[in-house]
Amino acid sequence: MPEEKKKLVIVPEKKQERPTVGKVSRDLLLSGKESADVIEIGRDMQKDYMSELFVCIDEMRNRSKDNFFVVVITKRERLMPNVFRNFYLARTTCPTPDYDQSVFKYHQKDDSVEYIWTIPDKESCFVLKQNALQVVEKEQELLKFVLEFSDGTLMKKCQKLNGEKSESLLLDPNA
């Protein structure tokens, strides 16, 4: 009788499956719970914010000997309205103020990070401006940034941080 050849079958170990962002988003939408406002959602998503910010700073610090800026852009997923993502970008110049943006400046000399501003989404800016007198104390700084964004103060601060002159032809909209 010929010997039977036994096949060795390797069964991969089952990994603990984590739910996808889409599944979590769908489950939350289907749960019927009243959605939190944008500011509350923003607070929840900031759990890893600072660690990601410092990862971006460390990467740029290794490439640059000068001061630089880190821009955090917050995007809402189109198909999942309760999902937000932060994108961390390091750059040598201060960005033009825009919605859904936070800006930090890294100072090489002191090895320190300076918080410059945060501008929420357009709808939140409108709500904050319309209800400026009712804004609670913990959101006063955000209201200040929204008002400075609206009146052009942040744009002037950006120009100053970039060493630009306001009388420059490149900055004059009437030129």
Using only the alpha carbons of the chain, give its radius of gyration: 24
| Whether residue 129 has pLDDT greater than 80 | yes
Q: Which residue range(s) make up the domain with 100? A: 34-161
**12 vs 121 pLDDT, higher one:** 121
Q: Is residue 14 part of a domain?
A: no
Predicted local confidence at residue 165, as pLDDT: 79
Predicted local confidence at residue 175, as pLDDT: 47
Q: Is residue 175 part of a domain?
A: no
Least confident of 30-34, 72-76, 90-94: 30-34
Q: Is residue 18 part of a domain?
A: no
Q: Is residue 174 part of a domain?
A: no
Q: Is residue 128 part of a domain?
A: yes
* Burial letters 53-70, b for 16+ CB under 10 A, else e: beebbeebeeeeeeebbb
Task: Work out the average pLDDT over 143-153.
Answer: 95
Cα distance between the two ends of the chain: 97
Tell me the pLDDT tens digit for each residue of 94-125.
Answer: 999 999 999 999 999 999 999 999 999 999 99
In which region does residue 149 sit, left (phi positive, over 0), alpha (psi from -120 to 50) or beta (all else)?
alpha
Predicted local confidence at residue 69, as pLDDT: 97
Burial class (CB in 10 A: 0-12, 13-18, 19+), 102: buried
| Whether residue 26 has pLDDT greater than 90 | no
Q: Is residue 23 part of a domain?
A: no
Q: CA 164, CA 123: separation in Å to the nearest integer?
A: 30
* pTM score of the predicted model: 0.71
Task: Work out the average pLDDT over 7-29.
Answer: 60
Q: Is residue 19 part of a domain?
A: no
| Whether residue 90 has pLDDT greater than 90 | yes
DSSP 133: G
Q: Tokens 């800016």 identify what position?
A: 125
Mean pLDDT of the chain: 81
| Total domains in the fold of the chain | 1
Residue type, 94: C
Among candidates 170, 145, 159, which has minimal Cα distance to 95? 159
- Separation in Å, CA 136 to CA 78, 90, 131, 141, 160: 30, 32, 10, 10, 31
Q: Is residue 149 part of a domain?
A: yes
